[in-house]
Amino acid sequence: MAGARYRVAVPAETDVLHRLLRSAGVYRGRGDGPESGPFLARMVVTPALAGRAAILDYETTTDRDGLRHVEHSVLLLGADGRLELHVASLDLPGMVRFTQQTPGQFTAYEGPLLARIVLTLPRPGLLSYAWWWSRDDREPREQYRADLRRTD
């Protein structure tokens, strides 16, 4: 069929990565949580590895404390076919690998805390980024979340 266009279906397992790559740029917004209190957040999403990975540079600030939290992460498809989020932050004991369990939910059981990162894109140009954890054996719960809007 001359001129026909075909769309390739994106598996749900990698949809978060593909959606991030399609809407790379600078995101800004506000966040809050029982552990953090209110803050301003910024995330820069940059395509990498010829579109097979996304680099996420995330930071939070407050008027009182200035720069409060910094992360450098890489989201990519792991060897087992699941998305992995590799996160480096001064708040972590080194690079920590979070593996996607369900679309947008990345879990790590490395280290002293049960932790989860929830990364969703509810609509084009919007991004939600949340950290969940528990300091004991209970199921992790949301400790802070930032809701961000693309600004560039």
**Share of residues in the chain with pLDDT > 70 (%):** 88
- SS3 sequence, 1-63? CCCCCCCCCCCHHHHHHHHHHHCCEEEEEEEECCCCCCEEEEEEEEEEHHHCEEEEEEEEEEC
pLDDT in tens, 94-143: 899 999 999 999 998 666 668 899 999 999 899 999 999 887 777 889 99
pLDDT of residue 75: 97
The mean per-residue pLDDT over the stretch 72-85 comes to 94
108 against 83, higher pLDDT? 83
- How many residues are there in the chain? 152
Strand partners, 131: 117, 144
Strand-pairing partners, residue 70, are 59
pLDDT of residue 110: 62
Q: Under the phi-then-psi rule, with left for phi > 0, alpha for psi from -120 to 50, and beta for the rest, what region is 143?
A: alpha
- The mean pLDDT of 66-90, rounded to a whole number, is 94
Do 98 and 85 touch, CB atoms closer than 8 A? yes
pLDDT at 8 over 50: no
Range 33-38 average pLDDT: 90
For position 43, what pLDDT does the model report?
98
What's the chain's average pLDDT? 88
Whether the model clears a pTM of 0.85, i.e. scores above it, the answer is yes
Give the per-residue pLDDT at 122: 93
Query: What does residue 17 show for φ and ψ, rounded to 5 degrees?
Result: -60, -50
Structure confidence at residue 7 (pLDDT): 43
- Cβ(23)–Cβ(124) below 8 Å: yes
End-to-end CA distance of the chain: 38
d(CA 14, CA 46): 16
Residue 3: its pLDDT value, please?
43
For the chain, which domains are there? 12-150 (2.40.128.20)
